[in-house]
Amino acid sequence: MSHNTWIHRCLRPVLVKPLSRTPVTPNHVTALRLATGLAAAAFLAVGEEAWRDWGAGLFFVSVLLDRADGGLARMTGKTSPLGHTLDLIGDSLCNTLIFVGLGFGLMDGSFGGWALPLGLLAGGAVTFILWMTIQLEQLEGERAGEMPNYAGFDADDGVLGIPILIWLGWPEGLLAAAAICAPAFALVYLVFIYRKRAAAAKMAAKT
């Protein structure tokens, strides 16, 4: 949601700057981010540990690419409303389907048939968050839905916990936490947007 976190800063010299000297465009990076994210979800849906670990790796790469496409656009002067919207849609698809895939793959585990609904709940909350962001930006302009970062990290950096927890062997704990935390964050974000718009309306009324 921010564009100046520690992850963005680390990627600039090792990935974004080298790419800026090539014919690769930000939309190319976004497409690769989408491809790796969807592949990661499919790997998790297989339900076997080895496939799950590979899926976690693909999702880790997908997250880094998500940070790189915007950085490349800014560095090369190729920012555009269409590119930003595509980036948001890619985020929504990847971050939603990773939970759906995880839930599907864990249906033979201790959650049984509840695993998929939990994945759908977490994924649906992610989709709702991205939908709210797009709606707000259509009304108030690009980056209107951006939340502040703290000590160089923002809320969106939390997705890096997904591959880490999978590699640690805690996929079911991750699924349960996501089914609770994603809807909770959606509510927090809804309040954030409401307060932001209320403050803007109040300021407009004074002018």
- Domain 6-142+169-206 in CATH 1.20.120.1760? The answer is yes
Inform me whether the pLDDT recorded for 182 exceeds 90.
yes
For 52-103, the pLDDT digits (tens) are 999 999 999 999 999 899 889 989 998 888 888 888 889 889 999 999 999 9
157 pLDDT tier (thresholds 50, 70, 90): confident
Closest among 90, 66, 51 to 171, alpha carbons compared: 51
With 0-12 / 13-18 / 19 or more C-beta atoms within 10 angstroms meaning exposed / middle / buried, residue 68 is buried
Question: What is the Cα–Cα distance from 187 to 16, expressed in whole angstroms?
Answer: 34
Mean pLDDT over residues 153-161, rounded? 81
Answer yes or no: is pLDDT of 155 > 90. Answer: no
- Return the closest-CA partner of residue 123 out of 94, 84, 145, 144: 94
For the chain, give every domain's residue range.
6-142+169-206
Predicted TM-score of the model (pTM): 0.87
pLDDT at res. 193: 80
List of residues 6+ apart from 66 with CB closer than 8 A: 33, 87, 90, 91, 94
**DSSP per residue, the chain:** --S-SHHHHHHIIIIIHHHHTSS--HHHHHHHHHHHHHHHHHHHHH--HHHHHHHHHHHHHHHHHHHHHHHHHHHHT---HHHHHHHHHHHHHHHHHHHHHHHHHTTTSTTGGGHHHHHHHHHHHHHHHHHHHHHHHHHH-TTTTPPPPBTTB-GGGGGGHHHHHHHTT-HHHHHHHHHHHHHHHHHHHHHHHHHHHHHHHHHHHH-
- The pLDDT score that the predictor gives to residue 194 is 82
Query: Residue 205 — very low, low, confident or very high, per pLDDT cuts 50/70/90?
Result: confident
Q: How many CB atoms lie within 10 A of CB 198?
A: 10
- Residue 64 amino acid letter: L
Mean pLDDT of 143-168: 79
Give the pLDDT of residue 143.
64
Q: pLDDT digit string (tens) for 103-130? A: 999 999 999 999 999 999 999 999 998 8
HSE at residue 138, side-chain half, CA atoms within 13 A, is: 8
